[in-house]
Amino acid sequence: MNVALIAHNEKKPIMINFALAYQHVLKEYNLFATGTTGKMISDETGLDVHRFQSGPYGGDQQIGAMIANNEMDMVIFFRDPLTAQPHEPDVSALIRLCDVHQIPLATNLSSAEIFIHGLERGDLDWRKIVKEKKE
């Protein structure tokens, strides 16, 4: 299973703490992240994270391409709704792709914790069936 981890600048400390708290779960999956977030997660946890470009430089779109190609199974995106983002159209497109392709998307710590427990229990194993049917 492929899991994307994304965080706006003001939310990066929350993402790092989340990854530290749930590294025992996350280590079982293929992790993908936008540039700086991925580096911070990897440095703090030792987890193997495939890093794309930073969000403003196309990282959100790279993850979006994986979603569109049925290669991403879950997205955890800690957004900062109180700060204008220069790449807001890319953020909106990523969220839209998750909705179009039925990809679970957590946009805050509360929903991310529910998703991570579901991932640990196998509640997202239905994604394996979806992938097999589309191949």
pLDDT in tens, 32-82: 999 999 999 999 999 999 999 998 888 999 999 999 999 999 999 999 888
pLDDT for 135 equals 60
User: From the candidates 43, 48, 60, 125, which is the catalytic residue?
Assistant: 60
Whether the Cβ atoms of residue 52 and residue 62 lie closer than 8 Å to each other: yes
Whether the Cβ atoms of residue 60 and residue 93 lie closer than 8 Å to each other: yes
Work out the mean pLDDT of the chain and round it to a whole number.
Answer: 92
Domains of the chain: 2-134 (3.40.50.1380)
Global pTM reads: 0.93
Average pLDDT for residues 10-33, to the nearest whole number? Answer: 97
pLDDT of 134 higher than 70: no
- Is 43 in the active site? no
